[in-house]
A and B are shown apart, each in its own frame.
Chain A
Amino acid sequence: MSSVWAIFRREFAAYFATPLAYVFIVIFLFSMGAFTFYIGRFYEHNIADLSVFFSYHPWLYLFFVPAIAMRLWAEERRTGTMELLLTLPVPLWATVVGKFLAAWAFTGVALALTFPIWITVNYLGHPDNGVILASYIGSFLMAGGYLAIGACISATTHNQVIAFVVSVVVCFLFTISGAPLVLDFFRAWAPLALINAVASFSFLTHFMAITQGVIDLRDVIFFFSLIALFLAANVMVVDLKRTG
């Protein structure tokens, strides 16, 4: 466990060692604001809630989270520190988990910094803060899902651009897997059970359910098991690359 903590600390500090963290957070917050107020027309709704704000999260994460995840492993491969990291006496799973948690904590920081909008909505009216809290939790879980996918893909390459682009595409498919674009592809040949299974992978469906204010255990389990699945895949990818 102490090795997870050591890996976590180094990785988390690495975000803030360069301007990356600050640039990222500023642009993230700016985009959140721009989407909520200009595109989402937050004021014109005349409702004191944050549903407009949260409805853009999946789409913003689609680009922001792969940007955080892309460097996790690709950078280590490029600079050669991968060799150092993997020859330290740390179980591979601990390295994978430590890195993931650091990136997740970083997105948590960025998400937490959106708090002024929560203050604003409380100033303007009387929103249901329980729903807002649930939505924040849901948003954080969803970010974890995107991150786990991005981390796994980052482990397959030493090129961060490839890691980013592929992650965006895969994350996009997971986001909209309940939509006709994806389901029609399966409808022609797949059995109904598979189509339902694919549809149930939709981040949108699970996230939207949570933003209704009900944290259904099934949605939570969905995100956690997805994270676990992709972290396990991450371990396997790194291990497979050892065999050359």
Chain B
Amino acid sequence: MIEIAGLTKRFGPITAVAGIDLNVDKGEVLGFLGPNGAGKSTTMKMVAGFLAPDGGYARICGHDIETDTLAAQRRIGYLPEGAPAYPDMTPRQFLKFIAQVRGFDGAAAKSAIGDAVGKTELDPVLDQPIDTLSKGFKRRVGLAQAILHDPPVLIMDEPTDGLDPNQKHAVRRLIQGMAREKAIVISTHLLEEVEAVCTRAVIIDRGRIVADGTPAQLLARSRHHNAVTIVLPSGQAAAVAAKLKGLPEVAGVEQSTSNGSAAVTAYPKGGALLIEDVSAMAAREHWDVKELYAEAGRLDEVFRAVTTHDAAWARESRT
């Protein structure tokens, strides 16, 4: 439903978005990740029709955003960065305005507004000026505005920014509830959000896509993917580490100590499953195990690995 090809944007000498290709289908919730200034917002602004691209195209349900702008924009619900809204209006007036602009009138407008207000739980503040609302409510006004016309494509720039954990949970539930019939793109800095709601994660850096896959696929790229950690009294750590190193599928072992107990972590070769071998060994050797757990991987580690230019540069210069 969203087709993006070769999308490029330059601001003077800076290339903010350097040729992004992306297709998002119905039922997908795409998490758009990247460091600040990577080009996430710029990409979203181009897809929503606020900025004109310098190259490439974006199509919404087959309508090109530059040449068939209105048809494309009718099919998009867009939450801009910071959820801007007219500060002097109340949410009720604001949503009425949006409904009117989007061509709803009378009963249709009323029911569309009612739906959006219900889904975003805006009832208690409907008649307070937006200016006076808390950050959480302001964000929800922006969300209500974006979903008012039940668009097939939803693009949201940091939808949960500034919300407390309960509100974040509510927004994520809302997104999951709509996910089946829509193509949804959200940008976020919160990696746990990607694991919680996204069916696909795309990491961009310096205007390019550097990783694209399901959250599980990205996790598999982590060094901690399927790594097994054993926590036990620190006296036994050295012996345990030596034994673990002997396992055929173990690539490396690390240990750390705190408060008299040690954590020994075994990293697998090529993402192999270690947990069975390690727990069998622990039982066989009668280790005094306090905790034993395997990890799915760490998204923040993958994120750093693919977006830290200094590290990449250092690696390249060494070889």
Contact = CB atoms under 8 A, between A and B. Distances in A.
Interface of A: 2-3, 5-7, 9-10, 13-14, 17-18, 79-81, 83-84, 86-91, 242-244
A13 B90 CA distance: 12
Interface in B48-79: 48-52, 54, 69-71, 73-74, 76, 78
B52 A243 contact: yes
Interface residues of B, number: 35
Contacts of B88: 14, 17-18
A86 B69 CA distance: 11
B12 to A, nearest CB: 9
A10 B86 contact: yes
A10 B93 CA distance: 9
24 contacts: A2-B103, A3-B103, A7-B101, A9-B100, A10-B89, A10-B97, A14-B89, A80-B84, A81-B85, A81-B86, A83-B45, A83-B84, A84-B80, A84-B84, A86-B50, A88-B101, A89-B74, A90-B101, A91-B70, A242-B51, A242-B52, A244-B9, A244-B51, A244-B52
Given A242-B50, A243-B52, A87 B73 contact: yes
B145 interface: yes
B87 interface: yes
Nearest to B74: A89
Interface string B95-131: 0011011110100000000000000000000000000
B139 to A, nearest CB: 13
Interface string B135-164: 000000000010000000000000000000
A96 to B, nearest CB: 14
A76 to B, nearest CB: 9
A83 B50 contact: yes
Given A81-B84, A83-B48, A83-B50, 13 more contacts: A5-B100, A10-B97, A81-B86, A83-B80, A83-B84, A86-B49, A86-B50, A87-B50, A89-B69, A89-B102, A89-B103, A243-B51, A244-B11
Contact of B80 (A5, A7, A9, A80): A80
A46 B159 CA distance: 68
Q: Which of A6, A79, A84 has the most CB of B within 10 A?
A: A84
A88 B73 contact: yes
Nearest to A7: B101
Contacts of A6: 97, 100-101
Contacts of A79: 84, 86-87
B82 interface: yes
A35 B55 CA distance: 57
Nearest to A10: B97
Nearest to B76: A87
Q: Which of A10, A81, A89 has the most CB of B within 10 A?
A: A89
Q: List the 3 closest A-B pairs by CB distance, nearest first.
A: A80-B84, A17-B88, A89-B73
A14 B73 contact: no
Given A7-B101, A87-B78, A14 B50 contact: no
Q: Which of A2, A87, A90 has the most CB of B within 10 A?
A: A87
Contacts of A87: 48-50, 73, 76, 78, 80
Given A83-B50, A83-B80, A88 B98 contact: yes
Contacts of A10: 86, 89, 97
Contacts of B93: 13
A242 B51 CA distance: 5
Contacts of B98: 88
Nearest to A81: B84
B126 to A, nearest CB: 16
A161 B89 CA distance: 24
